[in-house]
Structure 1
């Protein structure tokens, strides 16, 4: 009895002093314990995702993979698997498992080291949210107190849901949603029992129990989970046996990029970072852009193929590296492969090493270990590069071009391997909807990994003859017409600044005397453009260009403005062309349609200003008014007023101030007369299709799009062919292509077979290839003249009344007689040292 008495006293003392100890520890750590109520507002670290307009993934940013899932979306077997292996008494305890703690202590006493853990799911959740993984008594104490608090604040279902979304499961996967995708490429509801058990076994040691690190460890751990599920009655004997025999079939899954648009994705990333800071990468934002996947793919292919084509017609610059020379011992296959795996691929261009060379073939090794053959067909293009202006003779044998031991670049074309090289030249392409500014495709360079410099938005380049349509618009606004005659004859004027004569030239150097403005634009006549600038005045012309959104500080205020010495970005240029295409409205290009948060709530939406030409008319019938409003998606804004008169009565949209305010908010600025815009748009069509007795500089598009009369464009080339451009339109789209060297000292040059590289030869093929794809299935749109435009039969030589062809005029400016009278043009001269010869 005495022993029993002392034993109970001992137990009582242990409990008493233990309680005091626990209380003291609690008071010691109390102030450092975080507020667990914040868990209600904690957002899981979900990466930023960027999508195209048709909901295809373009990019993902963020170090952690996390796919939040609700508890009702998680299979019951998965919940049971985690409970069976991590906390079998989960639904019975209040944050800490006393039985588990005593069991762990007994094992510690018996074995001398902690062979079993005693952390509950709630404790693990507390540790993952608030604590470090260090193994100290103080950290464990905090974990226990936090677990108790969590159990008081949250339900069991809320806790297990947070746990299954927060727990780290290896390979940057946080939560079961991310693990299901990373390991098996599935959503959680599609996982098998075998896969569920493998994932449930990861929390104990995610870095070593995952199948990528050790397949055997992962399998053994999975089997333990299956056994615990069977012992707890969650699965049957047959399920256990079947799942245990299954192999774990897994490989590393990453987010599948469905649309390649890295330059625009980077623009989006920068925008989100500027707006939200580092939270942009962890708060689960989904950004929906204006990119159309079909357009983007077409643009990528057009840019890459034409850049490679340009580069190859200028000759082969030689091997990237020589690994061993003739007479030296060749490298072994393993050493070559190690070298190749260190070299990045660039789209279709793959690094390879030449193993052996014969007269008409060569054996090469690729980075995947396969050995392939290049025949003479694959190197026939490879004339030796001498300069941008000169190439060597065509090769007669393969060993004239490549040699054993060289690291080269190759690409596969129709199951045959061709020699290639990383291009020196670069290009850019952008297309947008001229009616609202939505950017449908953007390619900022040949390859984002080679150069992240975005040439669409960051590269200021001289635009050459691409500037002419806007100057022709200024001339028509000044009173000229498309049939006005200007003398296409050489110009020579003394330039005191350069102490020499300034002689702008046509390209080719052909002069036709008196010609109409339409022909001057269609054939890109430089001297016609200079004379026209003299007629309207330089100051007037430069100020007029600002209507199209061109920054005044970038506009050259000399006669050379006629030849395109001003520098703009491709984005600025395509925006300006949109004004001509859409009827005179300066739209604002945009690329983000909307942003959603991780709760799928729209937190930002772009409401672009659109084309409101149908609402500028003073009086229109209600039927048409309603139809046009619905089409342009602004009926809700305008219909809010009570001034809409039904029953086919007339609506006066301009007299109502409320309407006027609404129009200002939703309509793009009206910067040039729609009649002028139509005339220039029509003249750009002539640049492609020409007339019966002459070809436009863009005639190559006419051969491709024969039968279409709803496209138009303008070529552009700068002095010495440093920059080549083509801008043009088709139904609901306007696009600009540029090609040139980032080193502005280099020219695009010429080749023996291809001639001088100009806009029509170098940039226009990019535009053509793009449009060939995006116009498939697009019906031809009949372009009708707006009110105030009339057509008159004229003489093609004099521009006066005749019967040769029809010409469009703003009503009141059409010719009235047959008298031939040459247009008198005043000469404006200035001395300026910055004039350059462009075409």
Structure 2
């Protein structure tokens, strides 16, 4: 062997020796790193695992389900809470929805242990290929972990905890439990949590009714709820749906025929009635808000996330009838009132009609300033003349007002001689309304109205509308507006007199009545009959039919104001709001429409006081009843407050009012003999009322301005409020058989057509109430006249009648 060969071998051996030592050192170093890594990982696990959240809250899942308010027939009318949820059991979710979710999010869900390593590898390859993050590898379990317990921050620490929690969830829960949690709690846009809520929000149907095409649409939303929901971006949602359907076919969930059918199905996006996004099936806003207040008084802030369901006494059909009656009554009054002019008039470019985008942008800004009120819509006048008004709702929706009656309503705003403040011209912002088969221009009403109906057997509220538009202010005039009832209060005055010896046949003076300043202690008081019409003498019955003020005053004077004040508290009226003075005979005290309904219920049910109530029962999120009303029921001896003879006689007289008197329109239109009632109009027509009832239903209608002022000359309860009452009752009583008067109570007799109590038979009953001598009128505030400070008191009552006198709702559960 040559020296060169020896040198080469020596060099080769040295290299191999060095390489071997290097490999050994690397292996030792790697082993050391592995041991250190294992130690670090073990230490991290030891420190992190005990700090993972307890899964008890997940196992005993209690989502933040909102407070929901329902009618008695289970129509949703209100939802209060930050999250919209409809929690379903696993077996209640249709299989097509489950298969769509698995296809879209995690097709190997039932095979992996929480982390889909094959999915991770596939996502890494796809992301490297596209040099961007095009695919994710989060499993359903990982999403559950993230949504329940972890923040959305993108840090390695959070990701590490997510992996650990994923393993813990998989070790604790079954696969079905995990999928159940995911389907009920995942956020899907528009405040919808879970697929049941999303189905109602986007498709307008319960989850049980969805098709494969609709299931695929919903299953595509979790990828990016803000971008893939069909309201925000329908085209993007449809593209995502196509991907999910293809996955469902490739995984065997759909046959080729089912896939083709689903791919071609038209998707209609609409919110279900009863979801805030799509409005509610009926207008029960005032009812829902009052129910919320009542529950809040018991549970405070805890009511908004515990899934309480409040079932009210209101009937959905009655409620919608009441809403329409109030709206129509207010619009009818508004039409016959003086037109006040457009909301405003702006300068329009001459050619804006040819620029749809510019016109729509302008209209959007105007509708933000002057929002629609249900079917009262904001529009912009493009052209106006005495024979036609052209109005733009949008660039593509142009409305023409040509009806002669509609044009007559706003005639003062049309034509060359119209004053500027009334003039309707190009650029005027107006409200339009579809009245039957034609459009009309009508101003947004400033007058208000309210209606409430009550079941007199137990006080259950059947319908309640507290104003024209709840969105314009949630002040509920049924429960919060203290107003003077006017002549609608007279039946309670008359009833008190029957138990003091007067009868329907008692002759009473209708001559003018006056108290001097010395008698009142302040200013002279000279009340008047409506229209300044007087007659020498009338019977009590005639006085009620004609709603004569002088008759009512003399009845109260004969009975005694103090006695009347005590007596009317039996009907539920507040003593402090019904002072013992003669103006009380004209309804100068204060009541709410609901309080008046409770008072008339005593007449309707035979003499029992049944306080109105709204909430029938409340359930928790599981359906367990946690609260139930225990109403007072007519027939309970402890609830009797008025002599049955008094009720019988008053019902007879009030049926006469509804047949022959100021409310005769009731009988003409409804053609029923079992309705009693009374109109009411206060001084200067500040308030208009009609209170009417059958033995099965009491209804109270009111109209007036929030800040009291005259409704106008000639406006009365019969003209302003009665139409609302009739509109409601004509629908509610349709097909309901009449209830004939019951047997005459013991101790009551009928002689020559009129009634007499046994203790006040003919000859002993008070036959006549005439003009008293001045010396017979007491001024000491005692039982006879109670006249001290009447003028001051009238001023006080006038101020107290403001609609803005607020008080807590007086509606028990």
TM value normalised by structure 1: 0.83
* 1:68 CA drift (Å): 1.7
Q: Does the 8 Å contact 2:503/2:765 carry over to 1? A: no
CA-based RMSD: 3.4
**In the TM superposition, what is the alpha-carbon distance from 1:261 to its structure 2 partner?**
1.6
The secondary structure found in structure 2 opposite 1:779 is coil
Equivalent in the alignment of 1:51: 70
Aligned with 1:412 (options 415, 434, 441):
434
Counterpart-to-counterpart distance in 2, 1:232 and 1:393? 72
1:131 matched to 2:150? The reply is: yes
Q: For each residue in 1:414-470, what CA deviation from the matched residue of structure 2 results, as whole angstroms up to 9, or x when unmatched?
A: 321122111121111111011100001111011112232111111111111222111
Alignment-derived partner of residue 294 in structure 2: 271
Give the CA deviation at 1:109: 7.7
Cα contact 1:380–1:395 (8 A) shared by 2? no
Tell whether the 8 Å contact from 2:386 to 2:407 is kept in structure 1 after alignment: no
Instruction: Confirm or deny: 8 A CA contact 1:736 1:767 kept in the other structure.
Output: yes
Equivalent in the alignment of 1:117: 136
Indicate conservation of the 8 Å contact 1:211/1:250, yes or no.
no
| 1:491 pairs with one of 490, 510, 513 | 513
Aligned equivalents of 1:171, 1:821: Cα separation in 2: 72
Range 47-56 or range 765-774, more displaced: 47-56
Aligned residue number for residue 75 of structure 1: 94
Alignment of 1:592-671 (within 5 A): 592-612=615-635, 616=637, 669-671=639-641
Q: Does 1:190 align with 2:215?
A: no
What is the rounded CA distance, in whole Å, between the counterparts of 2:23 and 2:536 in structure 1? 127
Pick closer, same or farther for the CA change 1:112–1:26 going to 2, 3 Å: farther
From 349, 360, 381, the counterpart of 2:387: 360
From the superposition, tell whether residues 836 and 700 of structure 1 become closer, same or farther in structure 2 (CA, over 3 Å): farther
Tell me if 1:813 matches 2:771: no
| Cα 1:219–1:432 shift into 2, 3 Å | closer
Residues in 1 aligned to 2:257 and 2:318: alpha-carbon distance in whole angstroms: 53
CA distance in 2: counterparts of 1:189 and 1:252, whole angstroms: 16
- Give the 3-state SS of the residue equivalent to 1:504 in structure 2: coil
Displacement of 1:711 = 0.6
Tell whether 2:745 aligns with 1:787. Answer: yes
Distance 2:309 2:223 in 1: 32
2: distance between equivalents of 1:44 and 1:291?
Answer: 28
CA contact (8 A) 1:307 1:425 kept: yes
Displacement of 1:538 in angstroms is 1.8
> Structure 1 residues 521, 383: CA separation in 2 closer, same or farther (over 3 Å shift)?
farther
Q: Does 1:21 align with 2:49?
A: no
Report the more deviating stretch, 191-200 or 229-238. Answer: 229-238
The equivalent position to 1:547 in structure 2, one of 570, 573, 584, is: 570
Deviations along 1:268-320, one digit per CA (max 9) or x if unpaired, are 12223343444433333322211122222222222112212222212111111
1:436 equivalent to 2:458? Answer yes
2:434 is paired with a residue whose SS is strand
Going from structure 1 to structure 2, the CA distance change for 1:682 and 1:14 (only over 3 Å counts) comes to: farther
1:695-731: CA deviation from partner (whole Å, max 9, x where unpaired): x22222232233x211111111111111111111124
Give the equivalent residue in structure 1 for 2:109.
90
Tell me, what secondary structure is at the counterpart of 2:755? strand
Name the residue aligned to 1:730: 694
Distance 2:296 2:512 in 1: 55
Determine if contact 2:556/2:585 at 8 Å carries over to the other structure.
yes
Shift of 1:404: 2.3
> Is the CA contact 2:381–2:425 (under 8 Å) kept in the aligned structure 1?
yes
For 1:535, what is the secondary structure of its paired residue? helix
Q: Is the 8 A contact 1:382 1:394 kept in 2?
A: no
Match of 1:339 in 2: 362
Contact 2:493/2:564 (<8 A) preserved: yes
Q: Which runs of 5+ in 1 are unaligned?
A: 386-391, 617-663, 691-695, 751-755, 795-805
CA–CA distance in 1 between the matches of 2:257 and 2:750?
89
Aligned partner of 1:637 in structure 2 is none
State the match for 2:180 in structure 1. Answer: 161
The alignment covers a number of residue pairs equal to 755
Is 2:650 the counterpart of 1:687? Answer: no
- 1:747 and 2:710 are equivalent in the alignment: yes
Contact (CA 8 Å) 1:84, 1:225: kept in 2 or not? yes
> Is 1:572 paired with 2:595?
yes
The aligned residue for residue 834 of structure 1 is 792
Q: Which residue of 1 aligns with 2:376?
A: 349
Which residue matches 1:381? Answer: 409
Give the one of 446, 452, 464 matched to 1:424: 446
CA distance in 2, matches of 1:588, 1:819: 34
CA distance in 2 between partners of 1:523 and 1:230 (Å) = 79
Which stretch of the first structure deviates more once superposed, 24-33 or 578-587?
A: 24-33
Is the contact between residue 37 and residue 153 of structure 1 (CA under 8 Å) also seen in structure 2? no
Indicate the residue corresponding to 1:704 in structure 2.
669
* Cα-to-partner distance string for 1:160-208 (whole Å, 9 max, x where unaligned): 1111111222333222222333333333333333333333333222222
Q: Quickly say closer, same or farther: Cα 1:53–1:98, change in 2 above 3 A.
A: same
Q: Quote the Cα distance in structure 2 between the aligned partners of 1:422 and 1:64.
A: 33
- Provide the rounded CA distance (Å) in 1 between the counterparts of 2:611 and 2:395: 47
CA 1:277/1:100 → structure 2, altered by over 3 Å: closer, same or farther? farther
Partner Cα separation in structure 2 for residue 238 and residue 704 of structure 1: 60
SS in 1 for 2:516: strand
Cα distance between partner residues in 1 of 2:147 and 2:398: 50
CA offsets per residue over residues 529-553 of structure 1, 9 Å max, x none? 2222222222211121211111112
How many angstroms does 1:26 deviate by? Answer: 2.9
Structure-2-length-normalised TM-score: 0.85
**Contact 2:645-2:748 at 8 Å conserved across structures:** no
* Secondary structure at the counterpart of residue 566 of structure 1: coil
Partner of 2:17: none
Cα deviations across residues 44-69 of structure 1 (Å, max 9, x unaligned)?
23333322222222223334332222
- Look up the SS of the partner of 1:598 in the other structure: coil
The offset of 1:823, in angstroms, is 7.2
* CA–CA distance in structure 2, aligned partners of residues 523 and 457 of structure 1: 29
Structure 1 pair 597–6 and aligned structure 2 pair: CA distance change class (3 A): farther
What is the rounded CA distance, in whole Å, between the counterparts of 2:448 and 2:52 in structure 1?
57
Asked if the contact 1:535/1:828 (under 8 Å) is kept, the reply is no
Gaps of 5+ in 2: 1-19, 780-786, 799-813
Deviation at 1:814, TM superposition (A): 2.7
**Is 1:300 matched with 2:250?**
no
Output aligned runs, 1:94-243, within 5 Å.
Answer: 94-101=113-120, 116-236=135-255, 239-240=258-259, 243=262
Give, in whole Å, the separation in 1 of the partners of 2:571 and 2:696: 19
Bigger mean CA offset, 821-830 vs 62-71: 821-830
| Greater Cα shift, 455-464 or 216-225 | 216-225
Shift, 1:747, TM fit: 1.0
Encode CA deviations 1:775-801: one digit per residue, 9 max, x unaligned: 11111111124422544333xxxxxxx
The question of whether the paired residues in 2 share the 8 Å contact of 1:534 and 1:828 is answered with no
Q: Does 1:713 align with 2:672?
A: no
